[in-house]
Structure 1
Amino acid sequence: MSALRPLAPHPEAAELRRWKLDSFGELRDLRAALREAIKHHTDETDDLFDRMAVVATELATNALRHGLPPTEVVLLRHDERLILDVADHDLGTLPEIAADRPLGAGGLGLQLTKTFAIDVGWYRTDLTKHVWASFPS
């Protein structure tokens, strides 16, 4: 296992959209709303949406499965980057990349995130733990 680097995303990033999730059933609505938000704020390509949808789903699934509800997903913009920031309320666990886990054993969400995003990190506030990923827009 390896840990993500502890680093907050750009503090001057502007919030574009926010979603609160309480269950896995809300992931489908998240993906649809994310597509609309990306279309509204960029010259969206299907590739950008596909990469961001996978990452949003993986990070939100991790937060729902391993964190404390509610899960919060925020879409941010900083310069030419879109940033997904996913938070839960479990401050006691750190996000770790399952680098040596066999295929089919689960735990590949952060590996996929590192593959599809150009930058990934995590940080804590007094109430929440966040994992974020940025993408060129």
Structure 2
Amino acid sequence: MTRLSSTAPHPDAVELRAWRLDSFGELRKLRAALREAIERQTAETDDLFDKMAVVATELATNALRHGLPPTEVRLLREDDHLILDVADHDLGTLPEVDADRPLGAGGLGLQLTQTFAIDVGWYQTEKTKHVWASFPG
């Protein structure tokens, strides 16, 4: 297993939207609201939304499954980048990529995130652990 780089995302990023998730059932609403938010930011929405929706769903699912709710998802903008920042309250578990996991065995969320995003990392505050992914936007 490999760990993601431990770096805070773009310090000048501006929060565009934020969502609080307490259950897996809220993921559908997250994707719909994310599409609307992305459409307000860029004309090139379909491919970008598809990638960001997969990443948002995977990271939020990981946070709901392995972290301590509530899960907080934020959409940020810095210059020509859109950033997804997903937080949970489990400070004891670090995000790790299992590159050797076979397809169909689950646990591919961080691998997909690294595939679709141009940059991925994580950081901790006193109360939350964040995984973030940056996209051209």
What TM bracket, shorter-length normalisation?
over 0.9
Corresponding letter in the other structure for 1:34: L
Counterpart-to-counterpart distance in 2, 1:39 and 1:103: 32
Counterpart-to-counterpart distance in 1, 2:84 and 2:44: 15
Counterpart-to-counterpart distance in 1, 2:120 and 2:103: 22
Q: In structure 2, what is the equivalent of residue 49 of structure 1?
A: 49
Question: What's the CA shift for 1:48?
Answer: 0.2
- SS at structure 2 position matched to 1:107: coil
Q: Which runs of 4+ in 1 moved over 2 A?
A: none
Question: What's the CA shift for 1:45?
Answer: 2.1
Q: In structure 2, what is the equivalent of residue 133 of structure 1?
A: 133
Counterpart-to-counterpart distance in 2, 1:44 and 1:89: 34
Question: What's the CA shift for 1:120?
Answer: 0.1
Counterpart-to-counterpart distance in 2, 1:52 and 1:102: 23
Question: What's the CA shift for 1:47?
Answer: 0.2
Counterpart-to-counterpart distance in 2, 1:6 and 1:43: 32
- SS at structure 1 position matched to 2:127: coil
Instruction: Please say if 1:2 is aligned against 2:2.
Output: yes
- SS at structure 2 position matched to 1:32: helix
Matched residue count: 137
Show structure 1 runs of 5+ residues with no match: none
Question: What's the CA shift for 1:43?
Answer: 1.6
What does 1:1-137 correspond to in 2, within 5 Å? Answer: 1-137=1-137
Counterpart-to-counterpart distance in 2, 1:43 and 1:126: 37
Corresponding letter in the other structure for 1:105: A
Aligned-residue sequence identity (percent) comes to 81
Q: Normalising by structure 1, what TM-score?
A: 0.99
- SS at structure 2 position matched to 1:127: coil
Counterpart-to-counterpart distance in 2, 1:21 and 1:44: 27
Counterpart-to-counterpart distance in 2, 1:133 and 1:44: 18
Render the CA deviation track for 1:16-74: whole Å, top value 9, x for unaligned: 00000000000000000000000112223200000000000000000000000000000
- SS at structure 1 position matched to 2:72: strand
Counterpart-to-counterpart distance in 2, 1:79 and 1:35: 19
Q: Normalising by structure 2, what TM-score?
A: 0.99
Show structure 2 runs of 5+ residues with no match: none
